[in-house]
Amino acid sequence: MALIKDDAAAPAETWTTLADEDVAPAEGDVLVPLARWLAERDALTQREARVGVVLQPGDDALTLAGALEGLALVAVAFPKFTDGRGYSSARLLRDRLGYTGELRAIGDVLPDQVFYMRRVGFDAFDLAEGKSVETALAQLKTFSVTYQAGADDERPLFRRVQRPA
Amino acid sequence: MYQYDAHDQRIVDERVAQFRDQVRRRLAGEITEDEFKPLRLQNGLYMQLHAYMLRVAIPYGLLSSAQLRGLATIARDYDRGYAHFTTRQNIQYNWPELENVPKILDVLASVQMHAIQTSGNCIRNTTSDPLAGIAADELEDPRPYCELIRQWSTFHPEFAFLPRKFKIAVTGARTDRAAVRVHDIGVCIVENDVGERGFEILVGGGLGRTPHIAKQVRAFLPYEDLLSYLEAILRVYNRYGRRDNKYKARIKIQVAEWGVEKFAAAVEAEWAQIRDSSTKLTRDEIDRIKGRFITPTHETLPAEDLDALALTTDREFARFVKNNLRAHRVAGYTAAVISTKPQGRPPGDVSDTQLDALADLADEFGMGEVVVMHDQNVMMPNVRQRDLRTFYDRLTAWDLGTANAGRLTDQICCPGLDFCNLANARSIPVAMRIAEHFDNLDYLDDLGDLSLKMSGCINSCGHHHVGNIGILGQEKSGSEAYQLMLGGSPGNDASLGKIVGPAFSSDDIVGAVATVLDTYAQQRESREETFLDFYRRVGLAPFKESLYGTDQGRRSRSG
């Protein structure tokens, strides 16, 4: 699947997604569910390879408070693009928890949503199967003006520019 | 009228370009219909029974004459010569071709309009009091706050895929004419104990299949905190609102299931974290937005004797003066309701030539502004009382002078099964038969203030729950049936109508309405007792009796 990072096409990466009961392989980067990360942080970070956590829509991003160290990646899953909970998760990770590492949207990630996703704090997009990187990159430039504060600019428009009286 | 600055214009222009590209990719097969659906919905484009329907936003109902002409152009060039005013101060086109929609959006953008977020599971057009800016009972004009909400909610990146649609209404008056209690969020400008002004925040109202009256979540919120507080509510809803069942996904269900105390506590906790964030408004920004509104300047005029006008020998004009005028706080001015409900036309429909005529009339008589009302009528808010006669004659020349405002035939009606693929029954033909049956305006005047609201399905776009008389179309074993409800009201004393008994067939429903009206007319204490007051005093019993006989409603007349 096509990956976009920092507004550019990025080479594919190999992450092994582990379920709660899967044994971690000796080598290779792994993605684990939130509960497992919280429970097995020490063991997971002692491995040589990188570890990331996957937040499902129903997961509370705020439970990562104090548990972000050692994470190479936070992946927020969008099983269906119409489920918007991941947008709030991203916002909370960036604004509330001050997470500055890679925040990747995974799952049903479509070009027409990446603009919003970037505004709430995603800096990486693992596009859904068959979706065009070129289209998605173009969509990142859809709007040159936005009204609200976001993870891309913490000021709303009226604090960013002098709007006419 | 709010004037776009270069930023507002650029956002709307870039939206047109975005949607043009999305339509191109859809037609080229690059995006599937499932992927396209939420994109087109967030641009107001529905798939109806026969064609696409495009809903255009009219922020807080306010339209300039230039905008009216733009809407007329669209009706003429891209539709079948008409448009339809909705119950949420918007306007709809029933027959646009998909490939023409970007061109329609171009026309809209050229007059500072758009179709952004008029559908879809996002924050919809913010509605308000149709008498905003002219009502005597107003603490403050709510529309600058609506505009602040419009800007904050436009393409809000966090809230584009909510569990369900989300509607906000704002009122600045003591009398609620914005139906804030049946909105997801109702915002009321209030004064606290020490005389400061701010907002009361109500959450969780709504109609649909499970109607709820909104609950107070905060009694007083300072002006500057409006957007951060809304953001806190939306975040609690986006994170925890139900997504497992479309019919349980509105915020009213979350508030009902959690209880308002738990819900309010969650909102307050979230708000405490973001209250002092950069989203907090400043006095300067609020004042700047107020300054972007071009407010009509009124002349100093003597008040005319409207009571005398109402006794004039031209009975239809007298009726117009009695029924269609609303008090204006400036002496010598009045607000005139222009009914879109003459006999023989679907409620809310206006032709392209009527839209152009309204624009001309607004320029000549109304300081260039009109307001779209919740009941699908149009109001000219700033008419000189001394111009009334000329104004009325010009209206009637365009079939816009029907003097039935606030009367039975000033009914609200959804598009129903003639257009809508959600509907179970037709509503427009029933509305038209009611208009035909009750064509005696003297009788309607005698019945006084009375609202009839009709929906063709339980999604209740016609707001039947809050009609004094509500009609709900159903499908029963292959034929249309109509349930009758009584006692609903959308205002300060909001109440939901109660079902009076078994449903009526399409043939019988008009007669049933007549029976209800006769029962009221015969049994009211005096002409001063309105239909709603009468119902609240006597309840359903006398109506059951006259509709179904003494066996109290067990005998169905739906056949």
Per-residue model confidence as pLDDT tens digits over B206-239: 998 899 999 999 999 999 999 999 999 999 999 9
Contacts of B238 in chain A (CB under 8 A): 84-85, 87-88
Which residues of chain B make contact with A119, given a CB cutoff of 8 A?
Answer: 157
pLDDT at site B553:
45
Backbone torsions φ then ψ of B190, nearest 5 degrees = -135, 170
CB contact under 8 A, B162 and A142: no
Asked whether the beta carbons of residue A88 and residue B158 sit closer than 8 angstroms, the reply is: yes
How far is the alpha carbon of B279 from chain A, nearest alpha carbon, in Å? 6
Average pLDDT over residues B7-14: 98
Question: Which H or E run contains A46?
Answer: helix A34-46
CA distance linking residue B58 with residue B45, whole number of Å = 15
Beta bridge partners of residue A134, listed in sequence order:
none
CB B118 within 8 A of CB B157: no
Residue of chain B whose alpha carbon sits nearest to that of A85: B239
| B161·A143 Cβ contact <8 A | no
Residue of A nearest to B273 (CA): A96
Number of C-beta neighbours around residue B377 at 10 A: 25
Tell me the whole-structure pTM to 2 decimals. 0.94
| Three-state DSSP class for residue B28 | coil
Taking only the tens place, the pLDDT of each residue in B314-365 is 999 999 999 999 999 999 999 999 999 998 888 999 999 999 999 999 999 9
| Interface with chain A: mutation pick from B119, B152, B161, highest number of A CBs within 10 Å | B161
| Chain B contact set for A158 (CB, 8 A) | 282, 285, 288
How many angstroms away from the CA of B83 is the closest CA of chain A?
30
Average pLDDT, integer, range B521-547:
96
Interface touch B160/A87, C-beta < 8 Å:
yes
- Determine contact: B278 vs chain A, CB below 8 A: yes
In three-state form (DSSP H/G/I as H, E/B as E, the rest C), the secondary structure along B251-262 is HHHHHHHHCHHH
Residue type at A14 in one-letter notation: T
| Cα–Cα distance for residue pair B31/B46, rounded to 1 Å | 17
Percent of chain B residues past pLDDT 90, beyond the cut: 89
- Asked if this assembly's ipTM is beyond 0.95, the reply is yes
Distance from CA of A133 to the nearest CA of B (A): 13
Contact list, A103 vs chain B (CB under 8 Å): none
The overall average pLDDT reported for chain B is 94
Decide if pLDDT at B559 tops 50.
Answer: no
Which residues in chain B (422-481) have CB-CB distances under 8 A to chain A? none
| Greatest distance between any 2 Cα atoms in chain A | 63
Could you tell me whether strands B369-372 and B378-384 are parallel, antiparallel, or unpaired per DSSP bridges?
Answer: antiparallel
Q: pLDDT at position B406, please? A: 93
Interface test with B, best of A112, A132, A154 (most B CBs within 10 A): A112
CA distance linking residue B444 with residue B450, whole number of Å: 9
